[in-house]
Amino acid sequence: MNEDRVIDIEIKLTRQEDLVDALNKMVYEQQKKIDELEALCVALAGRLKEIASGGNQIGAAHERPPHY
C-alpha cells in the first residue's frame, strides 16, 4: 500500500506541474496583451492631445464653418 500511495502522490504532483505550466503560459500571454493595449492607449492619448491642440488638419475638419 505504501507504494500505491507514493505513485498517487507522484501523479498528483505531475498534474500540478502541468497546471502550473499552463497557468504560466496564460499569464505570459495576458501580460503581452496588456502591454500591447497600454501602448495603444498611450498612442491614442497622444493623438487626442494632438487633435485637441489643433495641431493638425483633422481637428479643423470637425469645426463649424464660420457662416454658422
Please state the domain extents for the chain. 25-50
- Where does the pLDDT of residue 68 fall: very low under 50, low under 70, confident under 90, or very high at 90 and above? low
Residue at grid coordinates 502522490: 9
Coil, strand or helix at 55: coil
11-61 pLDDT per residue, tens: 999 999 999 999 999 999 999 999 999 999 999 999 999 988 876 555 556
What is the reported pLDDT for 57?
A: 57
How many residues does the structure list for the chain?
Answer: 68
Q: Which residues contact 27 (CB under 8 A, 6 or more apart)?
A: none
- In the chain, the amino acid numbered 39 is A
Q: In 3D, which of 39, 57, 59, 38 has the Cα closest to residue 48?
A: 59
Q: pTM of the predicted model, to two decimals?
A: 0.63
